Structure 1
Amino acid sequence: MKRLFVLFLIAILSPSYADSPTEFDDAKVIAKESIYHDKHQTFYCGCDFQFTGKSGGRIELESCGYKPRSAGNLNRAERLEWEHVVPASNFGKARQCWQNGGRENCQSTDPVFNVMESNLHNLVPEIGELNGDRSNYNYGIVQKDADYGACNFKVDFKGRTAEPDDSVKGAVARIYFYMHDRYDMRMSPQQQRLLMVWAEKYPPSAWEIERDKRIAKVMGHNNAFVTGERKWTLNHKNSKDGVVAELKEPKQVKTKLAANEPKAITNTPKIVLASASTGAIIGNSNSKIYHLPVGCPSYDKVSPQNRVEFGSESEAESAGYRIAKNCK
């Protein structure tokens, strides 16, 4: 039933989405077979790798001069992982499923989250250690040397900020623009300004353009910030192309299904497909406490003179704020 539900959702969002992945595991396999089948290089550092198993791989660290940040991280450094350039927590934490059980609960109960998590435009192959070290940190300028040998990737763990090499800064910016525009996500003015500079200074490479074309063949649409059809400006008005405010399924929907699946959906309750972010994160400048738009009872109770808006939890925490204890 869940698979039928998601298939119907995809069909409504775009009639050309027939082959789009609806679960993260499927997205990784499609990325391997249809996007990166002949491009075995990691995103941040350009390290060579070889696919192994269903969607995994082994990194050839010597190919790019990569050195693990610590000897204990060697195994993960040699492991290929799939990185969400815009972290899953950024679009997950504003959804009720995340408040009720985190990422695992969203994967089990929320078809909208699964669509966003499986979006191929936001997925790149990466060194496992870098995927872990980057975590869900914002991108920014890091005033320190790189910790990974010849790989110019910097992480400020205390400031929760990561800075990639110049070669991918433009691609990072255009993926951020795409995800925020498509799913109506908020981005802080500071982050917008930085990414706008990166996008302007580092135009799409030949591979970024080719990657976009391959993904479009699967998902039915390009990243318009790669093709040049759209350009991000400060306080950009999002298209919300991937958002459906409210959806009711018809009494009977027919589609091609496996033999062991039912052939129709009947009397299914409506799904409310909210924006990936229902509002800004609100901080109280007096108490240094922040509130999420979902799951925090005091979200609307902060005095106007003390209100501070943040685009993400990491931004709020970097500013010295902590989440309210009554948030669920």
Structure 2
Amino acid sequence: MFYRLKIGRGLIMWASALVAGAVVLDFASSYALYALVPDPTSICENDSWIPTVPELLWLVLTAVVAIAIAGPFALRLSRRFVQPIDSLASAIRRAAQGDLSARAAMTGRPFGEISGLLADYNALADRLERSDKDMAVWNAVIAHELRTPVTILRGRLQGLSDGVFEPHPELLRNLVRHVEGLSRLVEDLRVVSLAEGGHLRLDHAEVDLRHALQDVVQFIAPTMPAHPIAVHLPASPVMVRCDALRVRQALIALLDNARRHANPGTINVSLATRNASVDLVVEDAGPGVPAELLARLFDTFSRAGSPRAGADGGSGLGLAVVRSIAMAHHGRVTYHQGEGGAARFVVTLPVDSTLAG
């Protein structure tokens, strides 16, 4: 396991080994010179410190042998530095030129620190490559989500301008709905982008979640005739220091998700208090989330593709928005399967999100 030693220890051991070898070689060669020669006095001149010609020749021979022995070891040691660093430099150059698939190869049995450096760079390159691919997906999906409502709005407005359509109230209401859908999509994209960058700002205030929940239900219930909403609230106030607007936005996203994907039936909305947190629960009438979607349920642009969603299947941002808002409050959102396969979403918020770690 010598090759796994850290650079400092490795260099010390290599240098010590070479010095020890040189000392042993020096003593051995000196002993051989004077012990094997029949008359040692023939190659030295009394006590003179000036080497004689035979002694000089022997020193040169000893140095050549030492270099011949140390050379391969030094070459092997240098490879453990040069090869991995060359590989890393090559990978960095390729990445700088746009090839994010470039990786540093673990060649030359690198020391511990160098091996860690290569591993860290490869991990960084993996993340950059995933981010680049995610960005391409983001751009494609956003373009797709914006194209349909913008095309409809442009066609209707052009028709109104050319006199093809009469500006009757139903047409105008339809245009307003498309504009509202675009506004929600833009806001959802903004929330998710800010949250992923760690820049989603919250306007904290003391809020009774019962009132916030009732406001949302009164607002959205008329748009969900096939999904009556049953509200279950504690008798006493549920005070939480949070951003009421963002919490309402998360609840609307959960209810809208149920409207799009759940079976017709009652949606139960409730609040449950704990010691230092509050659970906001939304449970629909099923059929629940497909098993293949669970791992990426709260990811951006993740959709179930349910037939119930129809053409209005949503942007795939709703649950990602809920997660972003919950995390911004130092909370979380989880999914559980309720009775009869119902989808049960629980948003857990600390009582004081400004102090939560």
Give the TM-score normalised by the residue count of structure 1: 0.24
Q: Which has the higher helix share?
A: 2
Give the TM-score normalised by the residue count of structure 2: 0.23
**Could you say which structure has the larger radius of gyration?**
2
